[in-house]
Amino acid sequence: MDALIKPAIEHPVQELDTRTDTRDYLAHARSDAEKKGFADWLIVDIDAHHVESVSWAEITSYIEDPVVRHQAEMYQSERVGAPPYGLNGDLGLRYQDVGGRIPHQSSQREVVEEKDVHRDVVLTRRAMHGLAVDYMVIFPTPMLFLGMHPQTDMEVFLSRAYNRWLTERVLPGDPGMVTLVVLPFNTPDEALKMVEEFADVPNVIGFCVTSTRYKPVHSNEYMKLYRAIEESGKPIAFHAGYHWQDPSLATCNTFLGMHSLGFAWCNIVHMTNWILNGIPERFPKLKSMWVESGLSWVPFLMQRLDDQYLMRQSEAPLLRRMPSEYMSDNCFYSCQPMEQSNMKALECTFEMINAKDQLLFSSDWPHFDFDTPSVIYDLPFLDEQSKRNILGLNAAKLFNLNTNGPK
Amino acid sequence: MQSYRIGTVSEFQEGTKKVFNLGETEVGVFRLGEKFYAWNNICPHQGGPVCQGRLYPRVHENLDENKNSHGRLYDENNINIVCPWHGLEFDVRTGKHPGNEEIALDPLPVQIEGGEIYVIVGE
């Protein structure tokens, strides 16, 4: 030991809380990124979030219907003791931070002094810096539950208002911020109008269905929508969520159990219908993305559907290949939250889903189960090219992004 | 090896912690009772700043003799540090995750001499 005893320096940030600057919150990720040289890698985060309800008065001012818009304005200006106008956020939102253990999930009340861009641009830039991300897909949070709203019109009003607000007020603030337009999927004709309105808007790189809903994705009423999305050349994403009031999930007494199942279950159902009804055969150029369900559900469903399909092919006559082949060749997956407790199982999963070409990095920042790019970089069974593909190049190809990053 | 002077025992209140930069190493120093513990500020899960999280008592299920559950209880005798990134909890005394002891924090030696606290880095 050195004879000289050195004085310790107190860390400037003793405890991370809801007021901590995102850059301090993600300082370890930033440091890790610099050690690994991520500045030389294209990193695309295909699913991160902002909390749109913080800007709800701005967003509701974009509601087209004059009566509903006025109702929202009055509500936002005078009403207390209730959630933001029109939103039906799930009960589970109260539990996401594990009783204050994960403060960044609760809120981001950090100081933002910049006035030249929207506050959400500043917060996103800080997150992009911390995670060393070149492009970040921005997606809402409580609006994830709109598919369960009893007023289907409200999903139309709010998603259109949100999409217009986001593309006009937020995204122009930084060329690295991109989005998947939220579709009011419970009203197919309005979803189609949304595709027509936003397909060519700058920084719109695809379309998104929030998966928590009871509409069958193979219904004939969606074929015009899928055709339009296919023709746009942009992918359709199914972003998972939960619905604690679902009769099965209502038997779960913990957020842990409900969330573990719920975020996989909705996409398991939609994927099953998507494949068995031959949507990839009907629209061979339509690319689908399955977001935020983790990965372990995919090999389960591949094996399950393959096994049953061989015995009941007459119920899925559109298929010309095994269900698992469509799932590995036609579908893209986001990695987060990537289950890593069994590395052999994860390696097998990567092989089964053809991860080097079909897997996309996503952080889900600032949610409680976010991943950093190192979850991919540190995997012992991937070669460097596969890591580069998953962290950014697969997304660049899928979304037609500049491989040198945004200009 | 390098020894760093952290401060005096009296500067640490019971049940508190401080985080220090010791050269390139971030370290959390915790006081529980008369004992001090030092852990590397890197979570074994995803590298989060674990020692910059909050302290919570360990949670137990409140079962009666017939195995009926009566909710959950805090155990104030077992304090966990909670990683603020993802919520992984670690016993401040052992550094181990309460649900999987193979997941544990990286310890650093603590010495107390004449009321002064020292943490040794690089042993």
Q: List, for residues B12-69, the tens digit of each pLDDT value.
A: 999 999 999 999 999 999 999 999 999 999 999 999 999 999 999 999 999 999 999 9
Angle between helices A297-311 and A255-276 (to 10 degrees): 40
DSSP state of A159: H
Q: Where are the beta strands (DSSP E) in B25-109?
A: 25-32, 35-40, 54-63, 69-82, 89-91, 96-97, 100-104, 107-108
B7: alpha, beta or left? (left if phi > 0; alpha if psi -120 to 50): left
**Between the CA of residue A394 and those of A361, A390, A405, what are the distances in Å?**
9, 6, 13
Q: Is-contact B28 B41, C-beta < 8 A?
A: yes
Give, for B7, the enclosing helix (H) or strand (E): strand B2-8
Is B30 in the A-facing interface, judged by CB distances under 8 Å?
A: no
Residue ranges of chain A with pLDDT lower than 70?
Answer: 1-3
| Confidence at residue A29, expressed as pLDDT on a 0 to 100 scale | 98
B46, A32 Cβ separation under 8 angstroms: no
| pTM exceeds cut of 0.90 | yes
Please, what is the average pLDDT of chain B?
Answer: 97
Beta bridge partners of B30: B17, B37
> Tokens standing for A108?
């981001």
B84 has a chain A CB within 8 A of its CB: yes
Q: Is B44 on the interface with A (CB under 8 A)?
A: no
| Extents of the domains making up chain A | 22-48+86-399
A6 touching chain B per CB within 8 A: yes
CB contact under 8 A, B86 and A11: no
In contact, A262 and A243? CB cutoff 8 Å: yes
What's the pLDDT at A79?
A: 84
Query: How far is Cα B45 from Cα B57, in angstroms, rounded to an integer?
Result: 20
Alpha-carbon gap, residue A190 to A197, rounded angstroms: 10
Whether A32 and B47 lie within 8 Å, measured CB to CB: yes
Classify the complex by whether its ipTM is higher than 0.90, answering yes or no. Answer: yes
**Confidence (pLDDT) at B73:** 98
Q: For the residues B75-91, what does the mean pLDDT come to? A: 98
Report which DSSP code applies to B10: G
pLDDT, residue A1, reads 52
Instruction: Determine the pLDDT at residue A4.
Output: 87
For chain B, which domains are there?
2-54+81-121 (2.102.10.10)
Q: Does A340 touch chain B (CB under 8 A)?
A: no
CB contact under 8 A, A102 and B6: no
Mean predicted confidence (pLDDT) in B106-115: 97
* Contact state of A11 with B2 under an 8 Å Cβ cutoff: no
> Given an 8 Å threshold on Cβ–Cβ distance, is A28 in contact with B19?
no
The confidence score (pLDDT) of residue A3 equals 61
B96 to chain A, closest Cα gap in Å: 17
At the top level of CATH, the class of A22-48+86-399 is: alpha beta
